[in-house]
Amino acid sequence: MRQSILPKAFTIFLALIVVISGLSILPAEAAASSSVVYRFDFGNQGVESGYVGVSAMDQYDSSIGYGFNTPEHMKNVTASGSGVQSDAVQFVTFGNKSTNTFNVDLPNGLYEIGVTLGDTERSTVVAEGVYQIINLTGNGAQDKVQFPITDGQLNLLVTEGLVGANYTLSALEITKLSDLPATKRTIFIGGDSTVSSYYPLDTTFQAGWGQMLQQFLDPETFYVKNLASGGQFARGFRNDGQLEAILKYIKPGDYFIYQFGINDTAAKNETTASQFKDITRDIIRQIKATGATIILSTPQGRSGDFNASNVHTNPNRWYNTQVRQLANEESVPLVDLNVLSSAYFTTIGAEATNQLYMYTINDTLHINRDGATQLARIFAEDLVRQGLDGFAETTWNGNQIVKAGEELDVFFGLSGVNESVAVYAQDISVHYNPNDVELVSANAQKDGFIIADKVLTEGKARFITVYTGKSPRLSGNLLKLTFKAKSDAAENTVITLNSVVQSNGQGIESRLSGAALHVQIEESTGNPNPLPGDVNNDGRLSIGDLALVASAYGKTSADTDWALYKKYDLVQDNIIDISDLVFMARSILDSTSQ
C-alpha cells in the first residue's frame, strides 16, 4: 500500500548512496538470490554494526528511500535487551488501517520480513494494510513473515495485541526472496490459542500446533502462515481483519486450515450453534471463491477426557458436530483432529497424555510444546492420508535380493491420492550405482500414463511423464524400471528415487518425497559364460532374442536412451542395424544345427 511516489531514478540513486555511505545494502543484482536488502536498528541509543540507524523523528524521505510516515506519532524508547534490542521506537497511534507506518522503498518482489520487538506484552505486526504476524508476546519477541511487495514500497507498523500495552519495534531485517511479487504455495491457519504461535518460537514451553506444522511439511512446496490468536472465535476472525489478511494473498493451490469452536461456545461471545454454522459456511464460500481450498479441523479434547474404560473420547463438544456437517454439506476436506488425537491419547494412556498439556499449571485444555508437536504430526499425517494435492506419497518398491547377472524390477507409484486430485505431468529422477546395476528398460504401468521423454546418463535416469487417462486420479504403480545386476557388482547397492515434481491441471507444482531401495546382490549360480546374443537371458538363442534386437533397430550411441538398448548392439559398432540382425539370425541357426 504505497504512500509516496517512488522516483524513477531511485535505483541508481540508491546505488550511489551505498557507495558513498557504506550502508549495509547489497547490490541490486544480488537481491533475487535471497539477499539481505536492509537491516534497520530503531531508537536513539546508538546503532549496531551492519545496521542502518533510524530514530522516531526520521520522516520518510524519497531521496534515501525510508522513514516514518508520521514521525509526530512516534517516540524513541529504551528496551531491556542488548545490542539492537537495547532501544526501540514506539507507535503512539496504531491500528491495522493506521497510516502511522514505517515506509521503505523496495523493488517489487517477494520478501521475508524479520521483526524484533522492544519491550511489550503482546503486539501484532501489520504491513500492506493487513495483519501479518499475530500476537508476538514478551520483550524482544522475534518472528519472520513472507509477503509480496507490489507497489514499490513496504508500509509496516506494530499495533495492539493486548489493549493498553506499548507497541514497539527494535529491529527490522528485509530479505528479497524473488523478483516475482507472488507467494509460493501457502498454508494459512486460522484458529484459537490451541493453534496459535507462542514466543520465543523455538523454546517456549506452551505452544500451539500451528507453529509446529511447518516441520512436517516440505518447505520447498509449502510456506505456513499462522494467523491464529488466543481467545479468537469465528465471528471475530471473519470481521476483525484476520480473514481479510488471508483473502488478500490466498490463491489457487493454497490451503486455509480453519479450527474454531472452543471460544464460540463461551457465553460472552454470544454465538449459537446455528450462528457458528452460518459464519463458518460464509468463510468457506469466501475461500472457495478464490480458487483455494479450505480444510476444516476439530480441536483436540481436554487431557482428562478419559472414560471408565481408559478411552479418551469427547467428540461432540465445541460445535464439532456442526464442523463435520459443514465438511459434508460444502464438500470440503475435514481433519477430525479431535477424534485422531483422542485415538493417539488412548494408545499412550492418561498419564502420558497429561504430560502433553500445560500440566504445570493444571491447565487441561492448552497443550505444551511436546503436545503441539504431536498434534501437528497427526494433522500432517492425515493430510497425506487424504492425498490432498501436494501431500500425496510416493511408492518405491521392488526386489531386494537379486543374483548377479539377473534382472530386478523396481516400481514407482503414488499412494493416498484423493479422488479430487488430478495429476497430469511428472518429472522423475532416479539415481543408481552403474558399477552394480544397469538400467535395462522403463515401461509405463497404467493406461494413459506415458513416458514423454527420458534422459539416461551414467548412474542417472530422468523421466518426463504425462497422464492422459480418463480418470483424474493417478495412483498405484505407474512406472516399472528393470535393472540388471552386474557380474562384478558389490554385495549391496542402493537404487534411489531422487526427486519427483508433479503438476495438476492448473499448472501448480508439488514436490514429493524421494525414497531408497536397498538391494542385496548375491553371487550367481547360473552359467558364468552366457550365450552371446541371448539378450532375453533365457539360456537359449531364439526368435525372441531376434525380436528384441529388431525392436531397437536404428538406435545409436547418440540417443539419450542408448543405455537401454546397448546390449542389442551385438557387433558393437554403436548402432543397431542390419548387421546385428544378421548376426542374431546366424546365431540362431548355428545353435539349432548344433
288-316 residue pLDDT tens: 999 999 999 999 999 999 999 999 999 99
Q: How far apart are CA 331 and CA 325, in angstroms?
A: 10
Q: Find the domain containing 176 and state its range.
A: 1-182
Q: What is the predicted pLDDT for the residue at 33?
A: 53
Judged on CB neighbours under 10 Å (0-12, 13-18, 19+), 112 is: middle
CATH number, domain containing residue 221: 3.40.50.1110
| 302 closest CA partner among 394, 232, 365, 360 | 365
**Residue 573, all three cell numbers:** 559398432
- Catalytic site residue 363? yes
With bands split at pLDDT 50, 70 and 90, how would you rate the model's confidence at 557?
confident
Asked if residue 178 and residue 203 are part of one domain, the reply reads no
Q: Is the residue at 107 inside a domain?
A: yes
DSSP 396-408: EEE-SEEETT-EE
Q: Of 182, 215, 239, at which residue does a domain stop?
A: 182
Residue 189's DSSP bridge partners are 226, 257
Residues 564 and 458 in one domain: no
DSSP 285: H
Q: Residue with C-alpha cell 550502508?
A: 23
Total structural domains in the chain?
Answer: 4
Q: Which of 331, 363, 386 is the last residue of a domain?
A: 386
Q: What is the pLDDT of residue 190?
A: 98
Q: Are residues 66 and 193 in the same domain?
A: no
We report the CATH number of the domain holding residue 443 as 2.60.40.680
CATH number of the domain residue 552 falls in: 1.10.1330
DSSP single-letter state for residue 71: G
Q: What angle do CA 208, 211, 216 make, to 5 degrees?
A: 115
Please report whether residue 116 resides in a domain.
yes
Contacting residues for 364 by C-beta, under 8 A, at least 6 apart: 302, 303, 304, 357
Asked if residue 327 is part of any domain, the answer here is: yes
CB-CB contact of 535 with 587 (8 Å) = no
Listed in order, strand segments (DSSP E) in 417-531 are 425-431, 437-444, 449-457, 460-467, 476-485, 492-503, 509-512, 515-522
Q: Flag whether 534 is in a domain.
A: no
Shared-domain flag, residues 149 and 5: yes
Catalytic one among 170, 193, 297, 587?
193
Domain match, 247 and 345 both = yes
Please report whether residue 527 resides in a domain: no
**Residue 529 belongs to a domain:** no
Last residue of a domain, one of 386, 421, 450: 386
Report DSSP letters for 162-225, one per residue: STT---EE-EEEEEEEESS-S--SEEEEE--TTTS--SSTTT-SB--HHHHGGGGS-TTT-EEE
State yes or no: pLDDT of 508 exceeds 90: no
Given the residues 366, 382, 436, 475, select the one marked as catalytic.
Answer: 366
Cα distances from 483 to residues 409, 521, 558, in angstroms, run 6, 12, 21
Identify whether residues 205 and 115 lie together within a single domain.
no
Q: What is the pLDDT of residues 439-461, one digit of tens each?
A: 999 999 998 999 999 999 999 99
The H-or-E segment that residue 74 falls in is strand 74-78
Say whether pLDDT at 18 is over 50: no
pLDDT band at 1 (very low <50, low <70, confident <90, very high): low
What is the pLDDT, as a whole number, of residue 119? 95
The 10s digit of each residue's pLDDT in 330-380 is 999 999 999 999 999 999 999 999 999 999 999 999 999 999 999 999 999
pLDDT over threshold 80, residue 125: yes
Q: What is the mean pLDDT of residues 422-435?
A: 93
For residue 537, being part of any structural domain is answered with no
The amino acid occupying position 112 is E
Which residues contact residue 528 at a Cβ distance below 8 angstroms, ignoring those fewer than 6 apart? Answer: 487
| SS3 track for 537-548 | CCCCCCHHHHHH
Give 141's strand partners: none
CA–CA dist 280, 350 (Å, integer): 33
Cβ pair 209, 194 in contact under 8 A: yes
Do residues 492 and 549 both lie within one domain? no
Burial class (CB in 10 A: 0-12, 13-18, 19+), 70: middle
CATH number of the domain that residue 112 is part of: 2.60.120.430
DSSP 524: P
Under 8 Å between Cβ of 169 and 115 = yes
Q: What is the pLDDT of residue 8?
A: 33
Please report how the helices 320-329 and 273-288 are oriented relative to each other, as an axis angle in degrees rounded to 10: 40
Pick the more confident residue, 66 or 473: 66
Residues 171 and 213 in one domain: no
pLDDT at 538: 79
Helical ranges in 227-336 per DSSP H = 234-239, 242-247, 273-288, 320-329
For residues 449 and 568, state if they share a domain.
no
**Which residue, among 201, 229, 200, 227, has the nearest Cα to 215 in the 3D structure?**
201
Residue 147 in domain: yes
Please give the residue that has the higher pLDDT: either 155 or 558.
Answer: 155
pLDDT of residue 536: 82
Q: Are residues 553 and 472 in the same domain?
A: no
**Cα distance between residue 128 and residue 96, in whole Å:** 9
pLDDT beyond 70 at 134: yes
How far is 42 from 51, CA to CA, in rounded Å? Answer: 9
72-106: per-residue pLDDT in tens? 999 999 999 999 999 999 999 999 999 999 999 99
Q: Report how far residue 52's alpha carbon sits from residue 139's, in angstroms, rounded to the nearest whole number.
A: 22
How far from the centroid of its chain's Cα atoms is residue 74's Cα? 38
Q: Which residue has the higher pLDDT, 529 or 107?
A: 107
Q: Which residues contact 558 (CB under 8 A, 6 or more apart)?
A: none
Query: What is the pLDDT averaged over residues 235-263?
Result: 97
Q: How far from the centroid of its chain's Cα atoms is residue 471's Cα? A: 27
What confidence score (pLDDT) does residue 25 get? 40
- Do residue 152 and residue 286 come from a single domain? no
- Is 518 a catalytic site residue? no
For residues 208 and 321, state if they share a domain.
yes
What does the block give as the cell for 194? 490451541
Q: Which of 151, 218, 363, 534 is catalytic?
A: 363
Task: Give the largest Cα separation in the chain, rounded.
Answer: 105
Q: Within 10 A of 33 (CB to CB), how many other CB atoms are there?
A: 11
382 catalytic residue (yes or no): no
Phi/psi-derived region of residue 195, left when phi > 0, alpha when psi is between -120 and 50, beta in every other case: alpha
Per the DSSP assignment, residues forming a β-bridge with 124 are 159
